[in-house]
Structure 1
Amino acid sequence: MAWAGLVTKILLVIICSVGGYLIAGQIERFAAVSWAPWAGVAVGFSFAIIAIWLVKFIRRIPLKALIGGTLGLLVGLLIAQLISYGFISVENTTIRVATYVVLVCIFGYVGMVLGSIKIEELGWPHWGWLHRGVTKGGTLKILDTSVIIDGRIVDIVEAGFLEGVLVVPEFVLQELQHIADSTDSSRRVRGRRGLDMLKKLQESELAEVRIERQDFDHLQEVDAKLVALALRLNASIVTNDYNLSKVAEVQGIRVLNINKLANALRPVVLPGEVLRLHILKEGKEQGQGIAYLEDGTMVVVENAASLLGQEVEASVTSILQTTGGRMIFTTLKSSEQGRRH
């Protein structure tokens, strides 16, 4: 997909450059000028770059804003045309043309800007599909601050398990910037990591990242604003915040929790299964040793406190699922075998 986009851009640049060369060479006024075709190449190349930039810019604009802006532009041009009829009687052609151009620029610009803004106020039923979060890749997915800082969202997108439009609210960007500017070094590192992860998402062509400028001034908490935005756009929320997940689910919002996904992808461990573990530290209870699986799951091994730094075989007795993750309880399969290690 990325290669296809790159090839298309290269072809566009080549075609525009060659077209500029041929057109400039055929214009009689410049035919005798040796450098004219090369100036045509430069102009064609410039138009290609502008077109690529416009596509990159426009793809981040919500569909309803594009439609509203287009309708506003058409209305503005129509008003300019009607007003210009009053200047038909003016004999001076230069004044008449200049007046028409000025009117078109003024009313076209005002109509486009007002149309893109005021379309939010339309409440007609047949405009509802513009406000729903349904896109070609599925529902709109709003990213919260925690999931951006976490960074696993980048790997999930690159693996192809999350596609479509990823919405980053402007108030989340502001929170990231506030964290990155913190005087606390750990918070500053987390904030800068979040900004780096967001940059990687924007550079990835597997998902579209859209900056949503809607805000809710009457709400103070970022989580409350996320819920309000999700309800307005009928979008999902991608997070690893347990409390935000519960609040959003209560209000009927679909939540994609990265921690739940990580738990679902962990290897299945069944009671009675034998694990080979490396005892790293003592547990809270007397005699317990603590080990970890490759995915970070904590394993409590009974009667293994004296085997720190050793490798043992332990049999799974029970599995406890908590809000913070999964804990596995085991007993030594053979204490003597563990001591030999």
Structure 2
Amino acid sequence: MIRNIIRGIITLIFGGIGFYAGFILLRFDLLPFLSGQLSPIWISSIIALIFAVIGFLIAPKCIDGFLVLVRWMDTRLTKIPTHDLMGGAIGIIIGLIIASLLSNTISQIPFLGPVLSILISLSLGYLGLILGVKRKEDILGFFNILPRLRGEKGEKSKEPKAELLHEQLSNSNYKILDTSVIIDGRIADIVKTGFVEGVLLIPGFVLEELRHIADSSDLLKRNRGRRGLDILNHISKETVIKVEIYEQDFEDIAEVDSKLVRLGQVLGAPILTNDYNLNKVAELQGVKVLNINELANAVKPVVLPGEEMVVQVMKEGKEAGQGVAYLDDGTMIVVDTGRRYMGQHLTVLVTSVLQTAAGRMIFAKPKGVVGKKPMDLSSTDEVNLLG
């Protein structure tokens, strides 16, 4: 039914084009052999009928071709990042506005005016599309500035809350992943729990860095890079959260960390990382950071001075006589005078807890040995060990 209606519309359009073409031909006396035999109305009607028949015959092909074009555009547009589409649309609108202003004057030129107007509209529209896609960061960054300006104005009028809330909501969708947090792998488990909302944004330069690491000649680096790529595939396929690839690069910046900070500034989005240095640099430049290590430290069981625990001394500490043990979650325990209990399970008493951005460190002293007795080191044996 719909195809028949569209076919009728195409037929009418072709008929109208034929009638107008007949009028133009008669006006410029291009049909002298018919002018003396038929009236102008009959000549235009015959030409309109011929065009209508042509339109009726080619309408199915036109409809099929249009549907193929729509499917092709839909396939291509779904692969284009949202920011590219927004930048291109804004560029086309600006280009057509400028073309419209110029066309009002150029269209007055005899004969060539209408043709030049069409060419200018097409040229400026295409130019706006290209510039909008290439400069989308600057365009979208300009629109991100507007809520802040409105917020400052509202602050002067003592009504800033609505504008600030709008800014927070508009910038709360994306979470930018850096290379370290992808390789670490814990982000996949965090996403499964549902504590992370919005869209995980993976920059193209981060993927490129992962690819270089995965192709490294060093076995350890190669395994880390491949693990990162596996984690990304796992997140994109087996989790409900949306994952997007951000293709745009910052060619004027060489370091990946600096590119991540710039992207966070442009989008107003936080960076998911466990890189201590990136954490500090981003905070200095006003970019919010979600540190996986800080999250892990926050959910660790609280240990208070005076508590007892059983640990196994694994290695020597930095200071003389110290031993180092680890909890199941990787927390390091520095045992005072624990060096002599190397390899043994020991009951220790917590003396203090040091919390840093890099992790948690527990200081303890021995209370008793579980199982074996401590080694009785003579002065000669101690000299031999130290030597």
Give the TM-score category using the shorter length: 0.5 to 0.7
2:275 to 241, 250, 261: 241
* Selected match of 2:251 from 185, 196, 216: 216
| 1:133-148 to 2 correspondences below 5 Å | 138-148=172-182
Residue 259 of structure 1, CA deviation = 1.5
* Aligned mates of 1:253, 1:162 — CA distance in 2: 18
Instruction: Spell out structure 1 runs of 4+ moving beyond 6 A.
Output: 47-51, 72-75, 104-111, 129-137
Q: What does residue range 197-276 of structure 1 map to in structure 2 within 5 Å?
A: 197-203=231-237, 204-217=239-252, 219-276=253-310
The residue type equivalent to 2:240 in the other structure is: E
Once residues 66 and 121 of structure 1 are traced to their aligned partners in structure 2, the CA distance between those partners, rounded to angstroms, is 12
Matches within 5 A, 1:122-161: 122=139, 128=145, 138-161=172-195
Instruction: Please report how far the alpha carbon of residue 293 of structure 1 lies from its aligned counterpart in structure 2 after TM superposition.
Output: 0.9
The amino acid that maps onto 2:184 is D
Residue identity (%) = 46
Structure 2 runs not aligned, ≥5 long: 4-66, 108-120, 149-165, 375-387
Shift of 1:235: 2.2
User: Bigger CA drift: 193-202 or 256-265?
Assistant: 193-202
Structure 1 gaps, min length 5: 1-21, 25-43, 86-103
2-side partners of 1:307 and 1:126: how far apart?
63
Deviations along 1:167-190, whole A, 9 cap, x unmatched? Answer: 222222222222222222222222
Cα distance in structure 2, aligned partners of 1:312 and 1:277: 5
Question: Relative contact order: is structure 1 or structure 2 higher (C-alpha 8 Å, sep ≥ 6)?
Answer: 1
In the alignment, is the contact (CA less than 8 A) between 2:309 and 2:348 conserved in 1? yes
1:259, 1:288 → 2: CA distance?
26
Kept in 2, the 8 Å contact 1:135–1:164? The answer is no
Return closer, same or farther for 1:202/1:133 CA change in 2, 3 Å cut-off.
farther
Asked if 1:310 is matched to 2:344, the reply is yes
2:90 maps to amino acid: G
Instruction: State the partner residue of 1:291.
Output: 325
Residue 129 to residue 175, structure 1, CA distance change in 2 (3 Å): farther
Instruction: Please say which structure displays the higher CA radius of gyration.
Output: 2
How many residues are aligned here? 298
RMSD: 4.7
The 3 A distance-change label for structure 1 pair 220 and 137 is closer
Provide, for residues 205-237 of structure 1, a one-character-per-residue CA deviation record: whole Å limited to 9, x for no partner: 3133232413132x2222222222222222222
| Other structure's SS at 1:295 match | coil
1:68 and 2:90 matched: yes
Normalised by the length of structure 2, the TM-score is: 0.58
